[in-house]
Amino acid sequence: MSDNEKIAFFDIKIDKSGVLQFDAMLLNAQTLNDVDIWSFKIRPDEVIEDFDSDIIYNMLNGRVWMGHDIEKVDTPLLKAEFRKIGKPAPTAKSIIDTLHFTSSDTELAKLAIQFGLGRREAYRSFKDCGKNLKAIKKCEAFMPSFVKELPEIKYENDVHPMLCVLKYYHEAVNARRLSEPGKN
């Protein structure tokens, strides 16, 4: 990752009344501080407006995407919304799904869950984004305590250390999937 690369950290939800909520933060890869924040609500009888779809596209396209359960939930919802309006959906440079880290059964992952990573507030995607980011940042302070249990992770100088941990677990799960027969 380059020094000035931004991470698109986002969450999409559909609430009880069918309102789609899209919330995203552009994060500095080194500090995980937000650079830009966007929030949209789309009622069931609406589609993403041209202006909104352009903002979402420009915010996400070609960036590293990060979120909790982003592969199975958020990405398909995003693609479906863009299909509705007949526009190409943004594509990720790469994806970091924090679900793989919280599923790792490490003590640091258990702590992250206690801090709120992956806990979904009922129909409040922006709060989820903020809580997930806060939990990730809190874990950094505890990383030295768990260094023995963490695998050999290549830490990059210009990337937040927890981002390296999350990326490692995401890539490990994907490598396992590719090595399974019939998954290639």
Per-residue pLDDT at 130 exceeds 70 = yes
* Cβ density class 139-154: b for 16+ within 10 Å, e for less: beeeeeebeeebeeee
**Per-residue model confidence (pLDDT) at position 2:** 56
∠ CA 100-129-81, rounded to 5°:
90
Per-residue pLDDT at 121 exceeds 80 = no
Confidence of residue 147 (pLDDT cuts 50, 70, 90): confident
Ordered domains of the chain (ranges, CATH) = 6-179 (3.30.420)
Q: What are the pLDDT digits (tens) for 13-61?
A: 888 888 888 989 999 999 999 999 998 888 888 877 777 899 999 999 9
- List of residues 6+ apart from 111 with CB closer than 8 A: 139, 142, 146
- Find the length of the chain: 184
Confidence of residue 122 (pLDDT cuts 50, 70, 90): very low
